[in-house]
């Protein structure tokens, strides 16, 4: 952000007609739009719903933001690299399901809980690597690849499991990430926060992080510059898969059982959160902090619609409207920032 200010300061000298302060405020709001939106919607629900401004509701918002938040981060990673992952939620569901099936039904008591927990993100990484192999190494369009894996993972889950595995058939620790609390706040939220911090530091401070942005911004030029773009994409999908696995654990704990549709439908939310958070659909632009804000916004809306006295189907209509709004906001936000930053002289 400091350069924005520099830029404006240098421009203001030769462009007196525009108020520098107005521009500065405008930029600040646009750059952090998602946080203002979250706050505004939070207040709006507070005015509509009695008892919304209570700590318990706040904790609930953090709780329901977290599993989807981890998926938003995974999706953001794919989007930053100039691709996306339609199978991300199915990956989450399937990796938790397979491990849950082993320890809860097929061979209970054989695998220690801690190893079972570690197996889920590992499996997620493997499922992600399948995407990464086809997209990065075989250079097949990410829409086609992840649409296929979406279907495969989705129906594999239905095939493997018809009756849900109840929580009491599983070792308690397996559901801890999504079900246990530390203080008044669920552990999932700390996990989400920790992942966001690590991911943000990773993208900002490592050469690999810059490569992801470079490949997402311009695949061909990145290759010309000597970046092994195919390898970068492969690892992006592996990382997204690992995050999906962690999210899978969170969803299992959230539901308190293993079912075949644990994170079903969440893929749309993962896009919505990332895009409202300012991650570009075209790749190469966006910040983890924004994606986090996007996830929290989803949490606020999610808890608001639950607490409003409306039918479940109407809730889904509202969800659809939110996704549409996300796309619109994403589009106008970017062009508005560009307009404010475009040098007034060339």
List 24, 169, 285, 315, residue binding other proteins (CB under 8 A):
285
Please, which residues have CB within 8 angstroms of residue 178's CB and are 6 or more apart in sequence? 67, 186, 187, 188, 249, 250, 251, 252, 253, 254, 255
Dist CA 346 CA 335 (whole Å):
19
- Which range, of 90-98, 180-188, 223-231, 257-265, touches other proteins by CB under 8 A? 223-231
Between 141 and 205, name the residue whose CB sits nearer to other proteins: 205
C-beta closer to other proteins: residue 16 or 345 = 345
Q: Is 14 in the site for other proteins (CB under 8 A)?
A: no
344 contributes a contact to other proteins by CB under 8 A: no
For other proteins, the closer of residues 320 and 343 by Cβ is 343
Going by C-alpha positions, the residue among 135, 137, 157 that lies closest to residue 146 is 135
Candidates 98-106, 222-230, 236-244, 247-255: pick the segment binding other proteins (CB under 8 A): 222-230
Which residues share a beta bridge with 182? 185
For 85, which DSSP code? -
Q: How many CB atoms lie within 10 A of CB 205?
A: 10
Nearer to other proteins, 7 or 315 (CB): 7
21 binds other proteins (CB under 8 A): no
Q: In which residue are the tokens 């075209």 written?
A: 282
Spatial distance between the Cα atoms of 140 and 189, rounded to a whole number of angstroms:
35
Scanning 43-51, 87-95, 198-206, 261-269 for contacts with other proteins by CB under 8 A, the matching segment is 198-206
Tokens at 159, concatenated: 């095939």
Binding site for other proteins (CB under 8 A): 2-3, 6-7, 9-11, 204-207, 210-211, 213-214, 216-218, 221-222, 224-227, 284-285, 341-343, 346
């Amino acid at each position: 952000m400091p350069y924005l200010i520099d830029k404006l300061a240098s421009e203001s000298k030769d462009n007196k007609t525009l108020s520098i302060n107005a521009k500065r405020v405008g930029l600040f709001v646009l750059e952090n739009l998602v946080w203002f939106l979250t706050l505004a919607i939070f207040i709006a629900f507070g005015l509509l719903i009695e008892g919304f401004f209570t700590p318990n509701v706040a904790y609930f918002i953090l709780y329901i933001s977290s599993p989807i938040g981890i998926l938003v981060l995974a999706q953001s990673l794919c989007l930053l690299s100039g691709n996306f992952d339609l199978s991300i939620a199915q990956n989450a569901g399937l990796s938790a399901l397979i491990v849950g099936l082993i320890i809860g039904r097929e061979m209970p008591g054989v695998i220690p809980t801690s190893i079972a927990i570690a197996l889920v993100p590992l499996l997620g990484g493997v499922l992600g690597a399948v995407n990464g192999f086809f997209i990065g190494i075989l250079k097949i369009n990410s829409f086609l690849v992840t649409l296929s894996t979406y279907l495969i993972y989705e129906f594999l889950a239905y095939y493997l499991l018809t009756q849900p595995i109840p929580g009491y058939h599983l070792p308690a620790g397996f559901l801890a990430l999504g079900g246990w609390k530390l203080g008044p706040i669920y552990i999932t939220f700390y996990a989400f926060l920790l992942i966001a911090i690590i991911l943000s530091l990773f993208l900002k401070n490592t050469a690999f992080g810059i490569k992801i942005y470079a490949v997402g911004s311009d695949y061909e030029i990145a290759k010309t510059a000597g970046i092994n773009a195919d390898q970068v994409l492969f690892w992006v999908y592996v990382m997204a898969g690992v995050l999906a696995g962690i999210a899978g654990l969170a969803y299992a704990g959230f539901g308190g059982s293993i079912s075949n549709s644990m994170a079903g439908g969440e893929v749309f939310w993962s896009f919505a959160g990332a895009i409202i958070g300012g991650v570009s659909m075209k790749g190469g632009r966006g910040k983890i902090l924004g994606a986090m804000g996007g996830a929290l916004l989803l949490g606020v809306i999610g808890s608001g619609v639950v607490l409003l006295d409306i039918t479940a189907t109407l809730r889904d209509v509202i969800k659809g409207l939110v996704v549409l709004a996300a796309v619109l906001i994403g589009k106008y936000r970017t062009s508005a920032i560009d307009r404010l930053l475009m040098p007034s002289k060339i």
